[in-house]
Structure 1
Amino acid sequence: MPAESDLEVDIGQLAGALFVSVGLVRRRLRQQQVAGDLSFPETAALARLDRDGPATSAELARQEQISPQSMGATLGALQDRGLIARSADPDDGRRVVLTMTEGGRTALQNRRRARVEQLAQGLVGFTAEELAALQTAAPLIERLAQQL
């Protein structure tokens, strides 16, 4: 059984390694375009609507930490493509609520499926032990993301 001192981890060093490795994975995934691909802001807006449900443009801008003008341009492009729909807020007719359409849901699912396939191709050649280690780490990385 390892001594307790053998189990100590330099949190700063681990955080640095995770920052670099997760960032590299994200950059590599973004480098390859997917047919009909959504931009990063479009994906973020659709994912937020998918996860949290209908929202106003101002709410989305605040949640994604971008200017209302930038969010407006993003939402305009999504609406032009039929990926979101605008409707009056049933509680306050002056407000406009945005919802994801079936086309938006399909586009988001296609993007996710393409990125998962990209990751699967990257895993080819890993040993069974390495794959098991990544399988163990995946829920921990998700939990870390939720705590940020």
Structure 2
Amino acid sequence: MKKLIIINGPNLNLLGKREPAIYGSLTFTEFLEEIKDKYPKAQIDYFQSNIEGVLIDKLHEVGFSFDGIILNAGAYTHTSIGIGDAIKGIETPVVEVHISNTFGREEFRHQSFISPNAKGVILGFGLQSYELAIQSFL
């Protein structure tokens, strides 16, 4: 059984309420239950924080014992050298995901400090971006 973790960054705790035209109306908790049922051969853990240092601590904690990390660092994607360095320093492969197509949004969202250290990047497919990342590990 593959041991995977989804790590979500700032404001992703508001999924289902926040800008539904971009992010949809499903809460992440509802979505998580769906994907756990859909992928019974994977242990899928979940963690969310709005705090950059807490996200880095979590990456350090799971970065040597999990088979894969699915990371949506939210706005920290475009600002956090620390998260990028944390990914570089761990062994577990990371797939960067985004719900929206970040290249179709504001210009500052076109840069990622995560992408250079990630196994891959999936963006623009809504919550299905997470499923595609899960499939990449299975």
State the TM-score bracket (shorter-chain normalisation).
under 0.3
Higher relative contact order (CA 8 A, sep 6+): 2
Kindly name which structure, 1 or 2, has the bigger radius of gyration based on alpha carbons.
1
- Pick the structure with more strand per residue: 2
For normalisation by structure 1, the TM-score amounts to 0.23
